[in-house]
Amino acid sequence: MGFVRMEENIGMPPKSLFEAMDAHIGERAADGRFVDGGGLYGTEDAVNFVVRQGEVTRVDGPYAEGKEVVGGWAIMEYPTVEAAIADHEVFAQLHADHWPEVTVISTLRQISEGPEEPTD
């Protein structure tokens, strides 16, 4: 799974990035690597439930203390971790090429199929 963290309220990406992403995702959807993904709205309507010391507390956004938000996500399928890393670098480079004035952190994580055994 890949996701993109960025500053909130930095505006819309340039049209060239949208076009490059459409081509990038289209190629991966055509060969079966792209499973699902999309963008996320801002945190102004977000709802969090915080579990702390056995109690649940609801916390609604916006979050003035937050400096970054998750702006989008994608679930991809690769034959190897190395292939996933190489392709994720291509994805990050698209942002560098088409929206160089912003800081974007593009993270690749493996989806867990576990845990094998729950802890007691």
- The 10s digit of each residue's pLDDT in 58-115 is 887 666 666 778 888 999 999 999 999 999 999 999 999 999 998 989 999 998 887 7
User: What number of other Cβ atoms are within 10 A of residue 71's Cβ?
Assistant: 19
DSSP sequence for 34-47: EEEEEE---GGG-E
Residue 3 near residue 92, CB atoms below 8 Å: no
Reduced to 3 states (helix: H, G, I; strand: E, B; else coil), residue 51 is strand
Give the C-alpha separation, 94 to 99, whole Å: 8
Please give the average per-residue pLDDT across 38-53, as a whole number.
84
pLDDT at 7: 85
Residue 77 near residue 110, CB atoms below 8 Å: no
